[in-house]
Amino acid sequence: MTNYEVPVKKNDIVDVMIEDLTHDGAGVAKINGYALFIPKALPGEKVKVKIVKVKKGFGFGRVLETLEESPDRVDAPCPIYNQCGGCQLQHLSYEAQLRFKQKQVKDVLERIGQLPDVLVHPTLGMDDPWRYRNKAQVPVGEIEGGLVAGFYQERSHRIIDMDQCLIQHEKNDYVVTTVKEIAKKYGVRGYDEEKHRGTLRHVVARYGKQTGDIMVVLITRGPELANKKNIIEDIQQEIPNVKSIVQNINPKRTNVIFGEKTHVLWGDEYIYDTIGDIRFAISARSFYQVNPDQTKVLYDKALEYAQLSGGETVIDAYCGIGTISLFLAQGAKHVYGVEIVPEAITDAKRNAKLNGFDNVDFAVGEAENVMPWWYAQGIRADVIVVDPPRKGCDDKLLETIIAMKPERVVYVSCNPATLARDLRVLEDGGYRTTEVQPVDMFPWTTHVESVTLLTL
Ligand code: SAH
């Protein structure tokens, strides 16, 4: 730890140059090695800041004036960008965002993974990076007795009424505003978080971009929903492609959106969507990637890295509803998928059937326990694909990969820091990180998704 005096005090006003961006999109300036984090400032900018917080190793500043502007700065098109917090990079041009995401991966591989020389390709971005989300989850409340639905103001639980979100598919915006109007018409009460009263907590809209199918989920505090029949009829009337209207009941005082009980109010339990040639049934609570166009790009890359010729045994760990597993099953002899959520495995099995695959097996459990068990049964994989949550892979799972010795490991990651940590373990276990391809799944946000190929 460097031993220097903290060069600033709270409320000081200083001019600084921004050198970098943090993983959450804040500008970084250095004063004699002391790091200052400055929200919304961009690399290359000279800014006058007020110091708002001082800690031993780093501090925070707020921009008072931008003295020199970055050529990458753009006006955020969303009118509520500064209040919402859902996007973090709307003030940065899309091209620069893609470069930022590539650099994030590079930097973290070097710093955490001690992998300075790995080939990190330029981020694969979208031609049109707006309106990409296929799922909207919108909180509902009341302000002065009127029902509102929109978003939580950044760092609070105050709901701001809103009718459109620029990263949301137009269909979902339409569904949410329409359901909001219908709820108002029939006097449905919005949920009051503090008093734990009222009825409607969230409206969730899901859209199958390839099929046009729409699902509406009404999340209510209790089982009762007054005027249910009229509400259902109006939704059918006003939303032409609705295939499924579902109620989910969440009686708890919690920030978690969904409750345990779900039942169909009208139509099917599922909507359908396709990725490439494969069809997926999606239920109200299934995990399904939210950017369908880029999901195809991501999975195609994973498939390319898997280099399947038809004879391979493949393991897909953290398989969700079996999306990647079925993609792989098109070119492999056999695919084993493992996932911790039982409902997801039920969906995965249904999806395998729906598409006529008989070369896949799915298991429920923790990948770090199921994989060693498979290994003990004599199962060996030629290719292992992992797509873990943000915290990355469990050590036991990495050890099993190293013991099983597949020719290739394809690592799909939503968190470069844990990716870098895990790559180091695999490198020490005999693998070489061949290349990394960042894919922009979440334009205008700081989320960085990537696919990595490792070879034995
Ligand atoms: N590959 C899928 C899902 C990836 S998300 C897709 O692309 O759609 C990561 C998944 O890992 C989630 O479905 C989550 O439920 C699952 N998961 C989390 N911890 C796990 C564990 N220890 N073992 C197995 N699966 C786990």
pLDDT digit string, tens, across residues 24-48 = 999 999 999 999 999 999 999 999 9
CA of 114 to the centre of ligand 1 (A): 27
Please name which of 327, 456, 431 lies closest in space to residue 387, comparing C-alpha atoms: 327
Mutate to test the pocket of ligand 1, among 258, 275, 282, 287 (most ligand atoms within 8 A of CB): 287
CA of 310 to the centre of ligand 1 (A): 25
Please name which of 254, 237, 257 lies closest in space to residue 245, comparing C-alpha atoms: 237
Mutate to test the pocket of ligand 1, among 340, 368, 410 (most ligand atoms within 8 A of CB): 340
Instruction: Give the integer Cα–Cα distance in Å for 245 and 270.
Output: 10
Q: Which of 81-90, 268-277, 312-321, 396-405 has the lowest mean pLDDT?
A: 81-90
Chain centre distance of CA 456 = 30
Average pLDDT in the 388-396 region?
97
CB 422 within 8 A of CB 394: no
pLDDT at 149: 93
Contacts of residue 284, defined as CB under 8 A and 6 or more positions apart, other chains included, come to 204, 206, 215, 217, 244, 246, 248, 258, 262
Q: Which helix (H) or strand (E) holds 67?
A: strand 58-68
Instruction: Give the integer Cα–Cα distance in Å for 305 and 316.
Output: 14
Is 165 assigned a catalytic role?
no
pLDDT digit string, tens, across residues 213-258 = 999 999 999 999 999 999 999 999 999 999 999 999 999 999 999 9
Q: Is 348 in the pocket of ligand 1 (CB under 6 A)?
A: no
Structural domains in the chain, CATH included, are 3-68 (2.40.50.140), 102-126+291-455 (3.40.50.150), 135-275 (2.40.50.1070)
CA of 366 to the centre of ligand 1 (A): 9
Average pLDDT in the 248-270 region?
95
Instruction: Give the integer Cα–Cα distance in Å for 58 and 30.
Output: 9
Q: How far is CA 254 from CA 89, 155, 246, 258, in A?
A: 29, 16, 20, 10
Residue 140 pairs with which residues in a beta bridge?
A: 149
